[in-house]
């Protein structure tokens, strides 16, 4: 075996230019594939992080009936029990309660359906970044805060008055007048075009509609919270759930359950990236196949002589396979190294896409993308190279096996 391996390695470098081109092409293909995998992973990670920071949060407590139909009556039964547990848990970084209703907003120029988030401004800013990205004004308890896209759509600016029309717990229609105190600029245009913030202290009395049975220190449809270490989220959620003696119909969900499309994106991305890499390597395989066929034709006399002096057809087959595999693997380490170094550099500097920032904002992405290292894909890539190299060797090896030793030695 060692002799065949040594012969195979020497044979592929008998034509250094031709083999060098194939090795270089394989290295470039692997480099491009690894870099694109890191870029795609960076885009997906950024999209997920922006969604968690902008409007989803790490986890959420809500009533089970609110998940199904988001009825205004579906309030959390014992919010104080949950907030006490959140305050006591060392892994919980911050939390914020929300009342969430659908309303119609009217300005002097236009109207639009909106999702009203009644929040404590100080707590909300500790959980989400969207209220901290102020374009104008401030996010406080003095008025309503609109998204930049919604403000442009309604033609509303700081100091303008808007009217919110919504339904309270009794089913009665309320119209409330608010003054625009701030305009935020979120990552996602979709969110800033529909979500508005009002102080929970102002909206709660109107939403309750004077229902005495709900006269309690806190009312909320949702309680969002962040954890210090996202990797420990599942464990933290389990501990919080166990700590509440009587959760009733309240449920605690992680961001994966709140927004399953983000979880599916992670699963689909892994399969898509490997498929993308397989396509690149499949194209490289044709170059290797062509090179090996040319090598077999050029060495017809030599192969015939080897078989004439006693080399079995099985060893000839193994020799050709080893040459093909060595040619395939020669560019793999260089490609992986180049790809990893490129990602390491661009993960710090970022890749600016300032020309398409509006389109990126529609997808909930910033205009600068930071690729992430993907060492977990190196082994699958190596296995793909091995499989495609083996497949590329079968036809040249079969051609070598069909050679007649006597006739082959007569070839000039």
Q: Are 226 and 274 part of one and the same domain?
A: no
Q: Are 97 and 205 part of one and the same domain?
A: yes
**Residue 69 within a domain:** no
- When pLDDT is averaged across residues 310-322 and rounded to a whole number, the result is 77
Strands 161-167 and 173-184: antiparallel
Cα gap 161→143, rounded to integer Å: 10
Q: Are 92 and 209 part of one and the same domain?
A: yes
Q: What is the DSSP letter of 163?
A: E
- List C-alpha distances in Å: 263 to 223, 251, 321, 371: 21, 19, 41, 19
Q: How far is CA 22 from the centre of its chain?
A: 34
Q: Are 31 and 119 part of one and the same domain?
A: no
- When pLDDT is averaged across residues 8-31 and rounded to a whole number, the result is 80
- What is the total residue count of the chain? 412
Identify the sign of the CA torsion 228, 266, 250, 234. Answer: negative
Judge whether 314 and 63 are in contact, CB under 8 Å: no
Q: What is the pLDDT of residue 224?
A: 93
**Residue 63 within a domain:** no
Question: Per DSSP, what are the bridge partners of residue 98?
Answer: 119, 222
Q: Are 46 and 90 part of one and the same domain?
A: no
Q: What is the pLDDT of residue 405?
A: 62
Q: Are 22 and 111 part of one and the same domain?
A: no
Mean of the per-residue pLDDT values of the chain: 82
Residue 409, pLDDT > 70, answer: no
**Residue 71 within a domain:** no
Radius of gyration of the chain (CA): 32
Cα gap 161→156, rounded to integer Å: 8
**Residue 65 within a domain:** no
**Residue 68 within a domain:** no
Cα gap 412→410, rounded to integer Å: 6
Query: Strand, coil or helix: what is 76?
Result: coil
Q: Which domain holds residue 215?
A: 78-247
Q: Are 370 and 235 part of one and the same domain?
A: no
Q: Are 240 and 387 part of one and the same domain?
A: no
Higher per-residue pLDDT: 239 or 208 = 239
Q: Which of 247, 281, 312 is the last residue of a domain?
A: 247
Q: Which residue do the tokens 């970044």 mark? A: 129
Hey, what are 86's tokens?
Answer: 């959140």
Q: What is the pLDDT of residue 321?
A: 81
**Residue 340 within a domain:** yes
Q: How many domains does the chain have?
A: 2
Kindly report the backbone phi and psi dihedral angles of residue 197, in degrees, each rounded to the nearest multiple of 5, phi listed first.
Answer: -115, 135
Q: Which residue do the tokens 């994106």 mark? A: 265
Residue 329, pLDDT > 90, answer: no
Q: Are 199 and 288 part of one and the same domain?
A: no
Strands 173-184 and 134-137: antiparallel
Question: Per DSSP, what are the bridge partners of residue 42?
Answer: none
**Closest C-alpha among 174, 171, 149, 175 to residue 163:** 175
> What are the residues whose beta carbons fall under 8 Å from the beta carbon of 149, sequence distance 6 or more?
189, 192, 193
Helix (H) or strand (E) segment spanning residue 405 = helix 405-409
Q: What is the pLDDT of residue 58?
A: 92
- When pLDDT is averaged across residues 83-108 and rounded to a whole number, the result is 91
Q: What is the pLDDT of residue 356?
A: 63
Q: What is the pLDDT of residue 76?
A: 87
Residue 186, pLDDT > 70, answer: yes
Q: Which of 247, 279, 299 is the last residue of a domain?
A: 247
Cα gap 222→76, rounded to integer Å: 7
Q: Are 138 and 210 part of one and the same domain?
A: yes
Judge whether 203 and 145 are in contact, CB under 8 Å: no
- When pLDDT is averaged across residues 137-158 and rounded to a whole number, the result is 87
**Residue 380 within a domain:** yes
Residue 268, pLDDT > 60, answer: yes
Q: What is the pLDDT of residue 96?
A: 92
Q: Are 178 and 82 part of one and the same domain?
A: yes
Q: What is the pLDDT of residue 142?
A: 82
For residue range 352-386, what is the model confidence (pLDDT) as tens digits? Answer: 776 666 666 656 666 678 888 888 888 888 888 88
Identify the sign of the CA torsion 184, 187, 193, 195. Answer: negative
Strands (E), 132-266: 134-137, 144-147, 161-167, 173-184, 195-199, 222-227, 250-254
DSSP string spanning 27-66? HHHHHHHHHHHHHHHHHHHHHHHHHIIIII-SEEEEEHHH
Q: Are 275 and 241 part of one and the same domain?
A: no
Q: What is the DSSP letter of 85?
A: H
For residue range 27-85, what is the model confidence (pLDDT) as tens digits? Answer: 888 898 888 888 888 888 888 888 888 888 899 999 988 888 888 888 888 888 899 99
Residue 393 CB burial class (10 angstroms; 0-12, 13-18, ≥19):
buried
Q: What is the pLDDT of residue 139?
A: 85
């Amino acid at each position: 075996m060692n002799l065949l391996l040594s012969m195979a390695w020497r044979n592929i470098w008998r034509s250094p230019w031709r083999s060098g081109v194939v090795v270089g092409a394989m290295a470039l293909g692997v480099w491009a594939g690894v870099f694109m995998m890191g870029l795609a992973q960076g885009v997906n990670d950024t999209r997920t992080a922006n969604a968690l920071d902008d409007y989803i949060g790490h986890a959420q407590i809500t009533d089970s009936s609110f998940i199904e139909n988001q009825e205004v009556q579906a309030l959390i039964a014992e919010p104080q029990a949950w907030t006490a547990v959140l305050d006591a848990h060392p892994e919980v970084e911050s939390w914020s309660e929300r009342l969430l209703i659908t309303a119609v907003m009217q300005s002097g120029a236009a109207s639009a359906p909106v999702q009203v988030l009644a929040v404590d401004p100080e707590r909300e800013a500790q959980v989400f970044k969207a209220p901290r990205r102020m374009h104008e004004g401030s996010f406080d308890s003095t008025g309503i805060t609109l998204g930049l896209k919604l403000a442009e759509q309604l033609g509303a600016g700081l100091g303008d008055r808007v009217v919110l029309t919504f339904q309270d717990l009794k089913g009665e229609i309320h119209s409330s007048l608010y003054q625009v105190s701030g305009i935020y600029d979120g990552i996602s245009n979709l969110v800033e075009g529909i979500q508005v913030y009002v102080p929970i202290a102002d909206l709660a009395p109107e939403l309750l509609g004077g229902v005495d049975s709900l006269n309690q220190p806190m009312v909320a449809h949702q309680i969002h919270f962040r954890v210090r270490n996202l990797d420990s989220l599942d464990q933290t959620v389990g501990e919080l759930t166990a700590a509440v003696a009587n959760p009733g119909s309240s449920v605690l969900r992680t961001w994966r359950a709140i927004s399953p499309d983000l979880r599916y994106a992670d699963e689909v991305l892994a399969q898509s990236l490997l498929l993308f890499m397989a396509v690149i390597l499949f194209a490289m395989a044709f170059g290797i196949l062509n090179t090996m066929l040319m090598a077999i034709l050029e060495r017809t006399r030599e192969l015939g002589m080897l078989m004439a002096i006693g080399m079995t057809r099985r060893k000839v087959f193994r020799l050709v396979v080893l040459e093909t595999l060595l040619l395939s693997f020669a560019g793999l380490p260089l490609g992986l190294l180049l790809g990893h170094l490129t990602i390491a550099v661009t993960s710090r500097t970022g890749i600016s896409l300032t020309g398409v920032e509006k389109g990126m904002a529609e997808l909930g992405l910033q205009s600068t993308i930071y690729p992430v290292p993907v060492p977990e894909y190196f082994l699958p890539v190596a296995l793909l190279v091995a499989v495609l190299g083996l497949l590329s060797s079968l036809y040249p090896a079969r051609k070598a096996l069909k050679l007649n030793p006597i006739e082959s030695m007569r070839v000039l």
